[in-house]
Chains A and B, each alone.
Chain A
Amino acid sequence: MDLEEYRRRARAWLVENAVEGAEGVAAARRFMAAMYDAGYSGISWPKEWGGQGLTQAEELAFAAEARDFTLPIYAFSIGLGMCGPTIVDLGTDEQRRRWVRPLLRGERIWCQLFSEPGAGSDVASLQTRAEPAEDGWIVNGQKVWTSVAQYADLGLLLARTDVEAPKHRGLTMLVIDMHAPGVTVRPLKDMSGRSNFNEIFFDNVHIPAENLIGQVDDGWSCAVTTLLHERLSISGGVGMSGARDNPASFERLREVVDTGDPIVRDQLVELYVRSRALTLFNQRLAEETRAGVFPGARGSAAKLLLAELTNFGADLAISLAGPEAVAYDDDGGGLARAVSQAPGLSLGGGTNEIMRNIVGDRVLNLPPEPRSDKNVPFKDLKVGTQQ
């Protein structure tokens, strides 16, 4: 089937199935199951683990169509964008069998347990410990900013297994059962008033041996794989709502502002130009992927551009709309929400500064910054917030 035909069918399916106003985890699970049955879950994932075995081009074609609908799958965004692809890349066949299909069918919600109060950008300085126990590990410590953890069944955990080694060499990746005894999840209210992320406490949580991803003490290279997927999935819009849901998008904004004013018109043109530029860049990355060129760290450029565009759009939208954008009745407040949520995109998945570091170091091969933390045993390092 050619891509246009694929697109047409995807759209027809979405028109039938994307239910307006569906919310909550139960709806998310139902919708994922329906997507799975229709062949739209894991479009580019390998067939043998539950995917459709198609290419990134079909994946993006579906995502492009989906932008015009409200897909209630936010709870699955972390599993689909980061955890699942990591299991597909690095898991054993047994692990892939166990975890991938249930994710694609909406049976298991995943979260990503990397950031800690003392380790965000510099996630390799994390302090949560996993110590060997007879048949696996015992985990103690704290995570924070963990998206969708309040719904999650499973978590992709990065923990320290060796404090004597330098920071990048003593980490291990494990899959944790979020319902296990000793796991406490506390939602945190973010600046938009929503509670999408959480803080998590681990108190002697047991993790069985078969939940190890990759090798012991090799968790950093696993985490790099996850983070590459994360940036690509954010820029590609996995599990995110589309332009139609974004009142600060060009499509929505043009309907509400006075385009008779030449300044307004020109600012809308600017928004259109920036939006199209990024859309076309994402499409080019998808075509390259299809031709066998993996975008790798260039996904960080796309993620940075999306963060910048989102903040530019929200900021511009309020300026164009004027005072009524910031004081509203119950059914209003869309733009206020947009500008309150925009900073999240510049922080989650790596800050703008970290994206620029990655583009500079890994895409442009610029000389690295001098570092004092690379070869020091972790236990002797300065980490987190200090006076």
Chain B
Amino acid sequence: MTDDRLTGSECWPIRSRLFIGRITDRADARSFYRAGLMLAASLLCSCSGPQSALDPAGPEAEDVAILFFTMVVGGALIWCSVVGILFYASRKKHAYDAGQASRIILWCGVVFPTIVLGALLSYAVWLMPNIRPGFGEANARLRTIDVAGEQFWWRVRYQNAEGSAAFETANEVRVPVGERVLFKLTSPDVIHSFWIPVLGGKMDVIPGRENHLTLMAEKPGTYRGVCAEFCGPSHAFMAFTVVAMEPGAFEDWTKARASFDGARDAEGLALFLKHGCSACHAISGTEARGTIGPDLSGFGERGSVGVGALVNTQEDIARFIRNPSEIKPGARMPHFSMLPETDIQRIAAYLKGLQ
């Protein structure tokens, strides 16, 4: 993971540079070895961390985690007793007559599984109304965040109290703790899936549809969300950061973002405009109003570049500008390696400074 702010990220086995290195340097024997270590590490600590459905930070995810553990424990008990009985039956010589045998089959093979499966089914469908998105009237009063899944990044638009768009960001979703939030999910290209494992279940993002999902964060922290539906070459990089903030801090942040001024560094901004970045990118408070790519207002305070592909340092930003599709295959941003290196560095510094 690339975002240093992530809660519990010490547990995350894939540090970005290793990961990128592995992709661009091509696999060698050592990287397979390394992958094996990563797998072992991730198995050991996969129960906690910023992207674990088993380390819930909201009520929906908690229900899902409890359901999971119920199933695992129940399944383990049944498996153990079946294997135990199997051993018992094979070790000793028991003479069962046909009647006894059919009674065992009837009770252990029919009645018991029917009751257990019936109970599990009831439990799971009983949970569903709690973990599904809310509907209708109840949703109209919720704070709404519009999210568009685009190849290969997330457009995030916040609404103000009147319901009109207040400001836009990308690849980072901030939510107030203790408040239910409604996500309206759309896609202009292909099917994606919006999933924040620590907060709840996933919801497909389908072109031509507006899908709704409500989630609530209960623990402040920085988590990781992902695209959970294969959507193209950089699908695996289509992640985003989720920041659950105390309500006061969240209000401060929305106010700051709604009145963001990106015109603080005249020279950097001039280069940004001169090289045509503004055709695709918007920065509040400047002439840059492009809408094809991610809104870059406040980009410097985000944790990653290229949606989780690189850490957000000036060098990584420059690297991304030079050749986005080397870092994210298929990214819809042209490469700018023909720009003078000083200009690239200058723009990267400017973007890093947008906090």
Asked whether A and B interact, the reply is no
- Chain B residues in the interface with A (C-beta under 8 A): none
